Amino acid sequence: MPAGARPRPPSLRLSGPYRHGGPHAAAHGAAPPARQASLRRHNLALVLREVAAGGPLSRAELSRRTGLTKASVSTMVDSLTSCGVLEELSSEGSPRPGPGRPGSPVGFGPTSPVAIGLEVAVGYTSACVVDLAGRCSRQSLLVLDNRALGPAAGMQRAARLVAELARSVRDQGRRLLGCGLAVPGVVGPSGELWWVPNMATWAGLHPAQVLDDLLQEHMGGAVLTGPGGLVADAGTPGDGLRALAVGNEANLGALAELWYGGHRHLEDFLRVSGEVGVGAGIVSGGRLLTGARGAAGELGHVNVEPEGLPCACGARGCLEQYAGQEAIVRQAGAPGYGQVLDMAARGEPSALLALEEAGRALGLAVAATLNVVDVPTVVLGGIYAELAPYIQAALARQLAERVVGGRFGPVRVVAAGVGREAAMRGAGGVVAHQVVADPAAHLPELLDRSA
Amino acid sequence: MPAGARPRPPSLRLSGPYRHGGPHAAAHGAAPPARQASLRRHNLALVLREVAAGGPLSRAELSRRTGLTKASVSTMVDSLTSCGVLEELSSEGSPRPGPGRPGSPVGFGPTSPVAIGLEVAVGYTSACVVDLAGRCSRQSLLVLDNRALGPAAGMQRAARLVAELARSVRDQGRRLLGCGLAVPGVVGPSGELWWVPNMATWAGLHPAQVLDDLLQEHMGGAVLTGPGGLVADAGTPGDGLRALAVGNEANLGALAELWYGGHRHLEDFLRVSGEVGVGAGIVSGGRLLTGARGAAGELGHVNVEPEGLPCACGARGCLEQYAGQEAIVRQAGAPGYGQVLDMAARGEPSALLALEEAGRALGLAVAATLNVVDVPTVVLGGIYAELAPYIQAALARQLAERVVGGRFGPVRVVAAGVGREAAMRGAGGVVAHQVVADPAAHLPELLDRSA
């Protein structure tokens, strides 16, 4: 198929109810299936969701957790193992040959399908392989300057990184479900980069389309569009798999924290992350708040000093100019970000003062945010996780003074459970979640096999 | 029944998906009904929702809009008219005696059931009667100082106002569905006032309980707990009618704007309202954003000047100290708020400057909010609607400079479609919406009549 004829991947829809493993089966866009197929589809999702959330589980345990009969669970598990989504494991969790018994667990094994998560940031490009439970099995990182490289060269590097991981996936005999892409900007409804303040030349780019084209070159369509992959089918099954999808890095980082952060019952939080820009993802009632145009959580441009320093966005006094990575380096009088950490560890006053000021500014903007959306927990991600010892006191002072919700319960500030890999893991995780939510929409052979 | 034995009304749950006339039938807490009753219940809600949203409609039109057969629509309409929820109207919309024909409309008439909405504000107490479509048929306003009166005397005045309206409802032969109450503070999960910064002595009060007790005295239970009313039944049908319910005035004002503001497709907006305090209600994707502890939208305590004026909340530089009613009066050097408007109309510089400063401060806080939640429309309610000519330019300048989302589409600032009555109309409207969403949960006789 010529490149021009391939269906264009739509953008990542981040507005759905991305709850902890919740089923979103109702959202698929296919024609209404017959009652029997619909029931089967629902039950496949029920079973897969429990395995994704709870690790390897026996058929008996799956029956207990889903409320399905053991016979029905067995039927679903047989379908999911036949098409390679689940594997029969030994009771220690390692793969085992042959059919399982009711007591032996099924789960995701070394040949279960995976997704690729990619992050293009100002100062690096990174990618990882995640399974349907969101576990990373491989990561790659390129330290580079995407601002200086520009979109053409920058996307070339990104595509090479993805192609490399895709080849390793193929070599393992795994099915590749798709690729999610995190970017440091606001993404429009059809996946174009609406605004990338710290990589201005990238604005207007449709990174998923570009990546798709580049992967065709790199891979010759062999992996991503071959029989083991689903990219070529991406546009066809209605609202099915968005194989190459793109979302804001702060939003994807917040989803990674929600899904993989290891917190119990953390459904209302603000995840703040910093690199050159400062971003935030807001999860309220277990849902990502994306806003009407996908631009929610633009914490970096919340004002902290009405007539303050000029910002790249055109306004004055934005948080980014006080708590962004480059602002901290400048304030500390350091040659680079790495040196700021060293200087702070040595107790050098210029670094400590710059970090205290960053914490105070962050506190002002976070307090405003908490007064607006009322979430009780602040998760420090990106550079703020490692800077926590130096910024936390000033941050906490602002929150204690200013947050109305603090009168009714504690405002907690915690380090992120998912580290610097959060955005790429969230990007891969969105693909994984879509498949878990409705496996039959993405793996149509699940419906071909009659029970 | 002694007062102590009456079931306590629970608080208003504002966290539900309060969409434009959307059905919430699935949310009721009764035991799972049999399939036939469940279907009937669903269809009753479908029919009632269309009448509430679309005005008087013929049975034929109802069939078209709901997708139900004409026979099924007739059955539902017969039940709803038999118990007085709907009335047969002439083709001009006035009530008509006797059974209707398929072409003649049914709707809410002068004896259809109603709810009462009450607002207790710092400077006034007001109440209104709303029908199931949210239309106000009667309003009462007491100008007084609830801060000085304190909770005991203040609630006495409020109860008298409600009792007066309840009597008029009874005299019209209408059924009273319940009463919703708007307060200028943060409401806890069981209806207690957690924080009322400008009426500090009211903190800790459970206004719905107090109102309930006072109404017993005033009305002797004759109206609100009599056969025509449902208050006495409020606690019994599980999660049924919350007859006396309480919510934050800014949140209820935003719901009134969403439901009754006359905007088309306005599902993402911030409604800013001012009286002594400054509040905001945020509607995102057609849902009210309440936050984890009901304290979302606390715009009045968003910082606009890091080391600015001290605020009643204990912090410095809160918006309320620059754009609240008392702050404007103080800045303008006026004897009272009414005079500020006169001075501004005469072009007196002190008033114009105070209002410009209020607009600038409001712009800073609103810009921060829009950057956090990304809604494209700002609705000016409360005093800001009448102050718009004097504050709008300064407000718009801040938004143009600072709102990231403004790069992707217009940020509109509009006057509220629902005026000063918004909070009380929203409070009554919540009761009306609950009944429309599942009429059988609130009017059990709808299920007694077999089709």
Provide the shortest C-alpha distance from residue B411 to chain A (in Å).
Answer: 11
Rounded to whole angstroms, how far apart are CA atoms B305 and B360?
11
pLDDT at B97: 61
Residue, of A217 and A40, whose pLDDT is higher: A40
Band (pLDDT 50/70/90 cuts) for residue A3 is very low
Beta strand A124-131 with A136-143: parallel, antiparallel or unpaired?
A: antiparallel
pLDDT at A238: 27
pLDDT at A215: 81
Q: Is the pLDDT of residue B308 over 90?
A: yes
Q: Show Cβ contacts of residue B389 under 8 Å, excluding neighbours closer than 6 positions.
A: none
* Residue B293 sits at the chain A interface (C-beta within 8 Å): yes
Whether A373 and B289 lie within 8 Å, measured CB to CB: yes
Helices A70-82 and A59-66: crossing angle, nearest 10°? 120
Q: In Å, how far from its chain's centre is CA A229?
A: 20
* Residue A301 sits at the chain B interface (C-beta within 8 Å): yes
Helices (H), B261-298: none
Q: What is the mean pLDDT of residues B244-269?
A: 91
Residue of A nearest to B269 (CA): A292
Band (pLDDT 50/70/90 cuts) for residue B343 is very high
Residue of A nearest to B361 (CA): A306
Beta strand B412-415 with B377-380: parallel, antiparallel or unpaired?
A: parallel
Q: What is the mean pLDDT of residues B184-204?
A: 90
pLDDT at A362: 98
Band (pLDDT 50/70/90 cuts) for residue A222 is very low
Q: What angle do CA B143, B144, B150 make, to 5 degrees?
A: 150
pLDDT at B190: 81
Q: In Å, how far from its chain's centre is CA B88?
A: 28
For chain A, how far is it from start to end, CA to CA, in angstroms?
Answer: 35
Taking alpha carbons only, the member of A150, A127, A154, A118 closest to residue A244 is A118
Specify the range with the lowest mean pLDDT, choosing from B121-130, B153-162, B206-215. Answer: B206-215
Q: What is the mean pLDDT of residues A83-100?
A: 76
Q: What is the mean pLDDT of residues A262-278?
A: 90
Query: Which H helix or E strand runs over B272?
Result: strand B269-274
Beta-carbon contacts below 8 Å between A and B = 156
Residue of A nearest to B319 (CA): A368
* Residue B194 sits at the chain A interface (C-beta within 8 Å): yes
Q: What is the mean pLDDT of residues A165-169?
A: 88
Counted residue by residue, chain A has a size of 451
Encode pLDDT of A393-433 as tens digits. Answer: 999 999 999 999 998 889 999 999 999 899 999 999 999 99
Band (pLDDT 50/70/90 cuts) for residue B102 is low
Beta strand A136-143 with A193-195: parallel, antiparallel or unpaired?
A: unpaired
Query: Which residues are registered as beta bridge partners of B118?
Result: B127, B181
pLDDT at A393: 97
Residue pointed to by tokens 């005079």: B339
Q: Show Cβ contacts of residue B330 under 8 Å, excluding neighbours closer than 6 positions.
A: none
Band (pLDDT 50/70/90 cuts) for residue B451 is very low
pLDDT at B243: 52
Contacts of B289 in chain A (CB under 8 A): 284, 289, 373
Give backbone dihedrals phi and psi of B184, rounded to 5 degrees, phi first. Answer: -90, 60
Rounded to whole angstroms, how far apart are CA atoms A79 and B46?
39
The mean pLDDT of chain B is: 84
Whether B376 and A293 lie within 8 Å, measured CB to CB: yes
Contact at 8 Å (CB) between B84 and B113? Answer: yes
Contact at 8 Å (CB) between B405 and B411? Answer: yes
Rounded to whole angstroms, how far apart are CA atoms A424 and A411?
28
Rounded to whole angstroms, how far apart are CA atoms B404 and A300?
10
Residue pointed to by tokens 């409804």: A189
Band (pLDDT 50/70/90 cuts) for residue B240 is very low
Q: Which of B290, B299, B314 sits opposite A401 (nearest CB)?
A: B314
pLDDT at B43: 94
Q: Show Cβ contacts of residue B342 under 8 Å, excluding neighbours closer than 6 positions.
A: none
pLDDT at A134: 93
Q: What is the mean pLDDT of residues A262-268?
A: 88
Specify the range with the lowest mean pLDDT, choosing from A42-51, A395-404, B373-382, B441-450. Answer: B441-450
| Conformation bin of residue A189: beta by default, left when phi > 0, alpha when psi is -120 to 50 | alpha
Contacts of B374 in chain A (CB under 8 A): 290-298
Q: What is the mean pLDDT of residues B86-106?
A: 74
Residue, of A106 and B445, whose pLDDT is higher: A106
Band (pLDDT 50/70/90 cuts) for residue B70 is very high
Contacts of B409 in chain A (CB under 8 A): 293
Rounded to whole angstroms, how far apart are CA atoms B441 and B422?
27
* Residue B401 sits at the chain A interface (C-beta within 8 Å): yes
DSSP code, position B26: G
* Residue B227 sits at the chain A interface (C-beta within 8 Å): no
pLDDT at B246: 87
Rounded to whole angstroms, how far apart are CA atoms B57 and B44?
15
Total-model pTM: 0.85
Encode pLDDT of A340-351 as tens digits. Answer: 999 999 999 999
Query: Which H helix or E strand runs over B337?
Result: helix B337-345
Query: Which residues are registered as beta bridge partners of B131?
Result: B114
Contact at 8 Å (CB) between A377 and A414? Answer: yes
Q: What is the mean pLDDT of residues B230-236?
A: 32
pLDDT at A243: 52
Q: What is the mean pLDDT of residues B158-175?
A: 89
* Residue A372 sits at the chain B interface (C-beta within 8 Å): yes
Counted residue by residue, chain B has a size of 451
Specify the range with the lowest mean pLDDT, choosing from A226-235, A280-289, A296-305, B78-87. Answer: A226-235
Residue, of B173 and A368, whose pLDDT is higher: A368
Give backbone dihedrals phi and psi of B253, rounded to 5 degrees, phi first. Answer: -65, -40
Query: Which residues are registered as beta bridge partners of B140?
Result: B127
Contact at 8 Å (CB) between A77 and A60? Answer: no
Contacts of B376 in chain A (CB under 8 A): 292-293
Provide the shortest C-alpha distance from residue A136 to chain B (in Å).
Answer: 30
Band (pLDDT 50/70/90 cuts) for residue B41 is very high
Percent of chain A with pLDDT over 70: 83
Contact at 8 Å (CB) between B324 and B316? Answer: no
Whether B364 and A298 lie within 8 Å, measured CB to CB: no
pLDDT at A214: 84
pLDDT at A398: 97
Q: What is the mean pLDDT of residues B181-196?
A: 90
Number of neighbours of residue A171 by Cβ within 10 angstroms = 9
Q: What is the 3-state secondary structure (H, E, C) of chain A?
A: CCHHHCCCCCCCCCCCCCCCCCCCHHHCCCCCCCHHHHHHHHHHHHHHHHHHHHCCEEHHHHHHHHCCCHHHHHHHHHHHHHCCCCEEECCCCCECCCCCCCCCEEECCCCCCEEEEEEECCCEEEEEEEECCCCEEEEEEEECCHHHHHHHHHHHHHHHHHHHHHHHHHHCCCCEEEEEEEECCEECCCCCEEECCCCHHHCCCCHHHHHHHHHHHHHCCCCCCCCCECHHHCCCCCCCCCCEEEEEHHHHHHHHHHHHCCCCCCCCEEEEEECCCEEEEEEECCEECCCCCCCCCCHHHCECCCCCCECCCCCECECHHHHCHHHHHHHHCCCCHHHHHHHHHCCCHHHHHHHHHHHHHHHHHHHHHHHHHCCCEEEECCHHHHHHHHHHHHHHHHHHHHCHHHHCCCCEEEECCCCCCHHHHHHHHHHHHHHHHCHHHHCCHHHHCCC
Percent of chain B with pLDDT over 90: 65
Q: Is the pLDDT of residue B8 over 90?
A: no
Q: Is the pLDDT of residue B28 over 50?
A: no
Q: Measured on CA atoms in the order A129, A131, A133, A137, is the torsion positive or negative?
A: negative
Helix (H, G, I), strand (E, B) or coil at B63: helix
Q: What is the mean pLDDT of residues A157-185?
A: 90
pLDDT at A445: 82
Residue, of A81 and B443, whose pLDDT is higher: A81
pLDDT at B9: 39
Q: Is the pLDDT of residue A434 over 80?
A: yes
Whether B402 and A285 lie within 8 Å, measured CB to CB: no
The mean pLDDT of chain A is: 84
pLDDT at B360: 98
Specify the range with the lowest mean pLDDT, choosing from A67-71, A177-181, B90-94, B335-339. Answer: B90-94
